Amino acid sequence: MRVSDLSSASVEPLLEGRLGRPYRFVVECASTQRLLDGDELEGTTVATDLQTQGRGRLGRTWEAPAGRALLFSVLLRPLPPIALWPELSLVAGDSVAVALRAETGVAAELSHPNDVLIEGRKVAGILPEASTGRVVLGIGVNVNQTTDELPAETGKPPTSLRTETGREWPRAFLLAAILRELEGGYDGWQRLHMNRRPRV
């Protein structure tokens, strides 16, 4: 398996839970957020090597050279009330941070509401978009960019796992690890809020 490979053949054998199933990979797209429609199952995940119109929070762009970052979206269908859905940004950000710490040893931490930082430098971001009955979580992680491949003009100084650790990382393993942590965090979040619902 190539370090940069996010094909179905590389990713699907690594999946352990329901998130990431079904899984689709496209070489290039405007945004993975646009590739999940309302009829798809919870857990459906789309990843790409290159986004031509990638977005971050507050309308900012998310730029990364082809095949260097981890760019994907996951479809969720939460049970708790819609007013609580913004919390999923924190759930996802924390899950990404936990997975990156476990898999690479970096000191990744959630920065409210939806960034993941390593000592103040942004390594990942979350973009949640809600519509009737569903939330699509867009997740971008700077993985194998060199320092000169990172964007120059950003709200927070950027970094990548390669910059922090001095080595390249297999994106398929990181994707599977993030989906595993996200599923655990998401399920725990749902249980917490469903248990708090008033009994009639």
pLDDT in tens, 24-62: 999 999 999 999 988 899 999 999 999 998 655 445 566
CATH 3.30.930.10 fits 8-195, yes or no: yes
Instruction: Please give the angle made by the CA atoms of 130, 131 and 135, to the nearest 5 degrees.
Output: 40
Quick check: 2 and 172 in contact, CB under 8 A?
no
* This prediction's pTM: 0.92
101-131 confidence digits (pLDDT tens): 999 999 999 998 889 999 999 999 999 999 9
Report the mean per-residue pLDDT for the chain.
91
From the list 179, 170, 164, the residue with the least C-alpha distance to 98 is 179
pLDDT at 89: 95
Q: What is the CA radius of gyration of the chain?
A: 16
What's the confidence (pLDDT) of residue 163?
97
pLDDT tens-digit readout, 57-89: 445 566 788 999 999 999 999 998 999 999 999
User: How do the domains of the chain map onto residue ranges?
Assistant: 8-195
Give the separation between CA 78 and CA 38, rounded to whole angstroms. 14
